[in-house]
Structure 1
Amino acid sequence: MSTPELRAFYDEHLPVEPGREFWVFGYGSLMWNPGFPHVEVQPAILQGYHRHFCIYSYFYRGTPECPGLVLGLDQGESCIGMAYRVPAAERDVVLDYLFEREMISGVYHPRWVEVELKSGETIPAATFVADVKHEQYAGKLSKQELIAHVLQGVGSSGRCYEYLENTVGHLKALEINDPGLEELLSQVQDAMKTLP
């Protein structure tokens, strides 16, 4: 169950009317491990944001002393992800879960975005975009900085490299092309060959 403070926060930043179903847009691990009840899932395109390793991870894939990186929705371009339709009866359960999972450090902004489903329908969906003013926002790191953080990051959920590798593998399984992440994985693998 959520606390009154948490409920007030998402009622302000991501209001979902009681008694109405809603959609959630996932662009990272939510695509293959949503972890919440839903009654439908479709591929979807979000314009104006792209999937990017732009968040320093101090918990899941790194530590404050040795941060890794995790994905965020950064401004510009577009992103193919998965949209999940949540039944009205699961509103509170799903919102509690999403806020606990995504807002651990407050590095994301919860917001409504317009996404186009594979069916051609355009719908509003709840998602979490990178807060560019947060201290954990990494921004546009150089190629070498990206590689270094992926190699060094180890947190409560494992190695950052494994996160990248799993992400690319799952995207391919979902038939979603992401040349940028595929190139980053190849560069990290090349760098690993030179490690002592």
Structure 2
Amino acid sequence: MTGNGAIGDPATTTEGDGAYWVFGYGSLMWNPGFVFEDRHAALLSGYHRDMCVLSLRYRGTPERPGLVLGLRGRGSCRGIAYRVAPERWPEVSAYLHEREMTTYAYIPRRLRVRLDDGRRVMVHTYVADPRHDQYAGHLSLEDRIRLLRQGVGPKGSARDYLASTVEHLDALGIRDGHMHDLLDYVDGRRAAGGPVAVR
């Protein structure tokens, strides 16, 4: 098994009991939308969550894009890992593909996380594709602030998406200073004089 196997590949079960694990770092943490057997807080090393994907449909439009979450390389990310029974995996995999891969701005990946009970498991998750036209990880802080302020789509505003993310992270007890800093910049509580730190 490799670290970047496609999600749907039947040869990529992760545990001896045949269960699969899904890692959520954004709305999947509080709104998974699928049936799972168990859930644990989990730490993913080597990636951090960031508002780094242009939203052209849900939190923005092609004319006035917003930003939504993705995983970018370096740092670490605390999220939620869900254990999915093998018999449910086909339906869960199809659901996740429809939810996350509408414009193929993400790359399905299998990565290792550490659960809050000390176990290390392989999880299925989605990483922002730096080669995709919607990738925004290279943009300046000022450009990201502008996109977060302007983006509005059928699902609401990009700013409210960021604020909801911060609120839910706090409720789950997951500290992410990067998200808090970015919201402070967007809401004008901090001047955009430098980069937002990755924590």
TM-score of the pair, normalised by structure 2? 0.87
| Match of residue 81 from structure 1 | 79
| Match of residue 122 from structure 1 | 120
Give the letter aligned to residue 16 of structure 1: P
| Match of residue 13 from structure 1 | 6
Runs of 4+ in 1 over 6 A off after TM superposition: none
Give the letter aligned to residue 167 of structure 1: T
Aligned equivalents of 2:93 and 2:159: distance in 1? Answer: 29
Q: Pick one of 182, 185, 191 that aligns with 2:183.
A: 185
Q: Pick one of 46, 49, 54 that aligns with 1:48.
A: 46
Answer whether contact 1:50 1:77 (CA < 8 A) is retained.
yes
Segments of 5+ residues of structure 1 without an aligned counterpart are 1-11, 192-196
Aligned equivalents of 1:16 and 1:42: distance in 2? Answer: 23
% identity of equivalent residues: 47
| Larger helix proportion of the pair | 1
SS at match of 1:180: helix
CA deviation string 1:16-35 (max 9, x = no partner): 34893200000000000000
Answer whether contact 2:67 2:148 (CA < 8 A) is retained.
yes
SS at match of 2:110: strand
| Match of residue 144 from structure 1 | 142
Q: Pick one of 155, 158, 162 that aligns with 1:157.
A: 155
TM-score of the pair, normalised by structure 1? 0.88
SS at match of 1:177: coil
| Match of residue 167 from structure 1 | 165
Answer whether contact 1:16 1:22 (CA < 8 A) is retained.
no
Aligned equivalents of 1:184 and 1:90: distance in 2? Answer: 37
| Match of residue 98 from structure 2 | 100
Aligned equivalents of 2:172 and 2:79: distance in 1? Answer: 9
SS at match of 2:88: helix
| Match of residue 6 from structure 1 | none
| Match of residue 34 from structure 2 | 36
C-alpha displacement of 1:141 = 2.2
Segments of 5+ residues of structure 2 without an aligned counterpart are 190-199
C-alpha displacement of 1:143 = 1.9
Report how many residues are paired. 180
CA deviation string 1:96-123 (max 9, x = no partner): 1000000000011101000000000000
